[in-house]
Structure formats: C-alpha cells, structure tokens
Amino acid sequence: MYFTIQNLSISSQKVNTPKLRVQFNLNCEKGDQKNTTLIMVIAKLTLEGDIISSVETQLTSEKIDRSINLREITFTLSNENLKIIERKRSDDLTLNMILEFLVTYQIDVKEKIELVYENANIHQQIKFSQKEWVNNLTVFGYYDAWLIEVAKPKLEGFDLVRKHLEEAKVNLLQSDYGGCVSSLRISWNSIKPFVDARWNEISGLLDDGSPGESGKDSKSVRIKKLKDNIHALSQIGAHQEFYKVNPEDAWLIYYGTVAMIAFLSKLISRLPEEN
C-alpha cells in the first residue's frame, strides 16, 4: 500500500504564532485490502535532517477508497524554528515534509478475517523561491522585532539616508550580505555631513546633565567613538577582496548602523532649524 500527493498548496498566517498551512489531495494505491481505515497521520517538516515542526493527528476511523479529498496540515513555527531556517538558507528554500500514516485493513486468512496494521510514508518537497519565503517571513512578523524607527528631521537630502537603510534591509532579507553592508556604508556617508556640521550642538545635548567622571571621556566622546567604529566597520562591504562578509557580520553592522542613525536622527530633530 502506498500514498501519493496531488494539488499541493501552501499558505502562511500569523495568529499568535507563525503557521504554515499545507493543503493537498491524498491518493491511495491499496491493492486488494478490504475496509482500509486511516487511523493516524504524523507530519514532520524538516530541513537538512533537522525537524522544524511536527504535528500528530488522531483520526476517527476514516475509511479509504482510492482517494481522500482535500487534507490540511498546519505546522506551527516558533521564532527559534525560523532562525534555524534562516541560518541554513542562502537564497531559495526547500523544506521536506514527511507524512507517516497508520492504517488498518482486513485480509482473509483461512476463511477468517484478520485485522492488519500497516505504516506508510510519503516524502514531499516544499519549495519556496527566495521572494516567496521572504514574503512568508514578513507575514510571520519575523522582522518586526528588529525594525527600528528612524526620525525624519527637516533637512534637505536626509531622505537619502533612509533610502539607503531601506536598501540595506532588502539586501539583508535577500541574503545579499555584502550588498547590505555596502548600502549601510553609503547610509553613513549620507548622514555624515549632517552630523559633522552640527556635532558641537549634538555633543551639548548628549552632555547636558552628564558632567562625567574625572579623567574619563565624556558621554559625547564615547558615543562619537562608537559611531566612528560602526562607520569604519561598514567599510568592509566595499573591500570584499580583503574581507569576507559573513551573515553575522551583516546583522551586527545592520543593527549597529540603524540603531546609531536612529539615535542621531532623533537628536538632530531636536536641534533648532538652521537659517
């Protein structure tokens, strides 16, 4: 006895937790078995041997003819599951769905009817293009936790800073880590004239009420050093013949850049407009 899948469709949703819903028609080639009944289905979603999610469904004696109409299995995906997928994924994604069936059927043995239990398995690939999977991650709210608001000071040309940050985010979602860091470098180059021109005023805001420790750097000096170090780290994207940009590098520089630029943009917004 064996099963086959037809008319596979995938959809994503987020109700409290991310879910991947798989729908399909199930066909059964069962030979001469009589009164075949499907008792249990165990579904596993795997990636490179790791189980990402699993579902066990107890059924109430579902009779099998040659086909079973539309079935639906919903896999729950935690953020940890999604992180595992993202660590392994380079661009497109192929998940493996394993379905394990427990069925019973009757056979005639020496004029007696005996009940037989049998297991049957299906391995079905579920493929996503990079664009499809990134859309799913957006539906899941996977990126919500690391989106940081950048203020919009009324400065001519500041929209370019936001534009390049958005490009960096898109590159990051598409696993283009070198491109992400290059866009972050351009974001720094775009905001640098605004920050340099008004750094004395920004320093005044930072140090207001913070006299600092004797013999130690002021708060504004510490923040300037951190700003300059993050900016310098973003330069590796333009020199990939000398520096390999790993996913962890891109995430670190993205977080650091967006957090610092958001911080600076809010400070700039508090400064009086220049005449």
pLDDT digits (tens, 9 = 90+) for 47-84: 998 899 999 876 555 566 555 655 788 999 988 888 88
Helix axes 159-173, 247-270, angle to 10 degrees: 160
3 pLDDT more than 60 = yes
CATH topology of domain 2-138: Immunoglobulin-like (2.60.40)
Angle, alpha carbons 137-142-144 (nearest 5°): 125
If one looks up domain 149-270 in CATH, what number appears? Answer: 1.20.120
CA atoms within 13 A on the CB side of 66: 1
271 pLDDT more than 90 = no
- Supply the pLDDT for residue 181: 94
Secondary structure (3-state) at 28: strand
pLDDT digits (tens, 9 = 90+) for 127-185: 998 888 888 888 888 776 555 566 666 666 778 888 898 899 888 877 888 999 999 99
State the Cα–Cα distance between residues 262 and 275, nearest whole angstrom: 24
Angle, alpha carbons 88-91-92 (nearest 5°): 95
Number of neighbouring beta carbons within 10 Å of residue 234 = 24
Q: Which of 26, 36, 30 is nearest to 124 (CA)?
A: 26
Asked whether the beta carbons of 47 and 96 are under 8 A apart, the reply is: yes
In the chain, where are the structural domains located? 2-138, 149-270
